[in-house]
Chains A and B, each alone.
Chain A
Amino acid sequence: MSHRVRVNPITCEAHGMCAELLPERISLDEWGYPVIDGEPLPHSLLSHARRAAQACPTFALLLEREHEGA
């Protein structure tokens, strides 16, 4: 099973915490909104991704489990 990060662009308010906590997958655009690399997360990044999702003030960062065949 693999995990990816995804952002809900409607709830995202460009606080930028996620890019601080998960720079391996998240950078910020010129307006401060996260640009997400949707590659599966290696095990080593999982806890960082979890922390980034929990740190988002608007809960806009989602850690999604890969669905088979979805």
Chain B
Amino acid sequence: MSTLVSPRSAAAGSAPAPAAALPRLLRGIRADGYAMSLDEHLDVHGEMPHERRRRRGHSALIDQVEQAGLLGQGGAGFPAARKLRAVAAARRRSIVVINAAEGEPASRKDGTICQMLPHLMLDGGHLAAQALGADEVIVCVCETAPGSIDAVATALEERAGREDGSIRMQLSVVPGGYVTGQETALVSHLNGRPALPTFTPPMPFEQGVRRRPTLINNAETLSQLALIARYGPEWFRALGTGSQPGSTLLTLSGPVSAPGVYEVEPGASLSSLLNAAGGTTATPRAALFGGYSGGWVAGELLGGVALSDEHLAVHGASLGAGVIALISEHACAVAETARVTRWLSDQSARQCGPCLNGLAALASSVEEIAAGSVQGDSGKRIARLASLVRRRGACSHPDGAVRFVLSALETFTEDFADHARHGRCDACAHEPELPLPARYRPVGHGDLTGAR
């Protein structure tokens, strides 16, 4: 067994634990929007605990993470301790990768972490490396997020002078793109190949960067780990639900007074989040949970929604990487779906036939419904395409895209039926509400303006 000791005082894990309440990750952030400096960060959270590792594969921190019940915050919700143990069990020296490559256009949380609290995230990477006996941490940030790149680079410089150098930390700028944030795509990029998903096995924890066992965790997961290392698992579990303990960052967009990133307690009501965001500015037509691989919940049900995966499962949705995108009653749900489906099709890495062909066909089908130019039974066609795409790619992108489309069909059944019969509606001309990258122009053949 190993022990956790804080260099500043003798008692184990001795940073004075703050109140268990919120904010946790966002505690002490600057009001001016700039990143917390290393000194500011240390004033709020104290020094990192130092773990003396006695035996390979054994780490007090991993035990603590397990007791805390920390789940991966990148979307899949895999238990963080299990991932750590898988890498810790490997014989070869491992590498830690911090995944801040946020490809989800509706998500801002990784960017918020990089730009406001980079040191907590870097602490997490450092502590994970320490627990695994790794000597290298690589932070992956998308080239499309220059603010995050600058903030992380500055934070790394600040730390360079103060650390003992036993763990090297570096920044890697990865190309933008929805699938770039997939673990195997990051590994491929860090190995000098295109940032595209690869066929598994081997999984990154078996053979990743430079063929070494590689721990890849989301920026928020590692930031949470840095809090657990300091304040302990009981403190962590004092918030949240049994299956989703702690706090989580959510990105809220759509018709609210103050869209942005919020730290919430899993299990809290959506209404409380909307209140925190200054209330809605228009009646919500529906909310998309979990981003563009997630599911919709209709507006009339939103009053009863609690922000936990357990509750959202009832609606066939989950928090995923923490995205909640509302659309207002002014939006056309069919046009929004068509636009995002085409974007998802364009985001295919174009490596796997079923994804490349299937998502393009799916996007065209949705566009045909939106334009009222349907031939045959479009519902049947979409169901068939969905079954032809699902689980047939090397990565989970096609599965997520199918989930998004099917959920839209189910939630907006009448709108789709209306469009199939009568074509465009008045709301189709409304400014699109679901966020897509500003530079995005459809490359697919059937884009909406063309079909008009």
The residue on B at minimum CB distance from A38 is: B391
The smallest C-beta distance from B393 to any residue of chain A, in angstroms, reads 6
Q: Give the complex CA separation of A13 and B358 in angstroms.
A: 15
Q: How far is the CA of A28 from the CA of B106 in the complex (A)?
A: 36
Q: Is the CB of A12 within 8 A of B388?
A: no
Q: Which of B136-144, B213-221, B348-356 contacts A (4 or more CB under 8 A)?
A: B348-356
Contacting pair A9 B388 (CB below 8 A)? no
Inter-chain contact B354/A10, CB cutoff 8 Å: no
**B17 in the interface (beta carbon within 8 A):** no
Asked whether any CB of chain A lies closer than 8 Å to the CB of B211, the reply is: no
Q: Are A11 and B353 neighbours in the complex by a CB distance under 8 Å?
A: no
User: Given the complex of chains A and B, what is the CA–CA distance between A8 and B351 in angstroms?
Assistant: 10
* B373 is an interface residue with CB less than 8 A from chain A: no
User: Are the CB atoms of B353 and A14 closer together than 8 Å?
Assistant: yes
Identify which of B199, B357, B358, B388 contacts A8 (C-beta below 8 A).
Answer: B199
**Residues A9 and B393 in contact in the complex (CB < 8 Å), given A29-B388, A30-B388, A35-B388:** yes
- DSSP class of A's interface residues: helix, strand, loop or mixed? loop
* A10–B388 touching, CB < 8 Å: no
Task: Write the chain B residue with the least CB distance to A32.
Answer: B353
Complex Cα distance A33/B393, Å?
A: 11
The residue among B353, B357, B358, B392 with the most chain A CB atoms within 10 A of its own CB is B353
Cα distance A13–B357 in the bound complex, in angstroms: 12
Which chain A positions have C-beta within 8 A of B198? 10
CB neighbours of A29 from chain B (8 A): 354, 388
Q: Are B357 and A9 in contact, CB atoms less than 8 angstroms apart?
A: no
Question: In angstroms, how far is the closest chain A Cβ from the Cβ of B386?
Answer: 12
How far apart are A9's CB and chain B's nearest CB, in angstroms?
Answer: 4
| Chain A 8-60 residues near chain B, CB threshold 8 A | 8-14, 29-33, 35
Complex interface: chain A residues within 8 A of B358 (CB): 31
**What residue in chain A is nearest B385 (Cβ atoms)?**
A30
Instruction: Write out the residue numbers on chain A whose beta carbons fall within 8 Å of the beta carbon of B388.
Output: 29-30, 35
Give the residues from 362 to 390 in chain B that come closer than 8 angstroms, CB to CB, to chain A.
Answer: 388
Return B13 CB to nearest CB of chain A, in Å.
35
Chain B residues with Cβ under 8 A from A31's Cβ?
Answer: 353-354, 357-358
**Are B357 and A10 closer than 8 Å at their CB atoms?**
no
Closest to A7 in B: B392
Of A10, A13, A32, which is in contact with the most chain B CB atoms at under 10 Å from its CB?
A10
Task: Check B394 for interface membership: any CB of A closer than 8 A.
Answer: yes
Q: Which partner residue on chain A sits nearest B354 by CB separation?
A: A33
C-alpha gap A58/B198 in the complex (Å): 16
Task: Please give the distance in Å from B31's CB to the nearest CB on chain A.
Answer: 47
CA distance A15 to B287 in the complex (A): 43
How many angstroms between the C-alpha atoms of A35 and B351 in the bound complex? 16
Complex formed: what's the CA distance from A48 to B392 in Å? 23
> What are 30 residue pairs bridging A and B, where the CB atoms are less than 8 Å apart in the complex?
A8-B199, A9-B199, A9-B351, A9-B353, A9-B354, A9-B392, A9-B393, A9-B394, A10-B198, A10-B199, A10-B351, A10-B352, A10-B394, A11-B199, A12-B352, A12-B353, A13-B353, A14-B353, A29-B354, A30-B357, A31-B353, A31-B354, A31-B357, A31-B358, A32-B353, A33-B353, A33-B354, A33-B357, A35-B388, A35-B392
Q: Which residues of A contact B (CB under 8 A)?
A: 8-14, 29-33, 35
User: Which 9 A-B pairs have CB atoms at the shortest separation, nearest pair first?
Assistant: A9-B352, A33-B353, A31-B357, A10-B351, A8-B199, A10-B394, A29-B388, A10-B199, A9-B394
- Additional A-B contact list (13), CB under 8 Å, known A10-B352, A11-B199: A8-B394, A9-B354, A10-B198, A12-B353, A13-B353, A29-B388, A30-B357, A31-B354, A31-B357, A33-B353, A33-B354, A33-B357, A35-B392
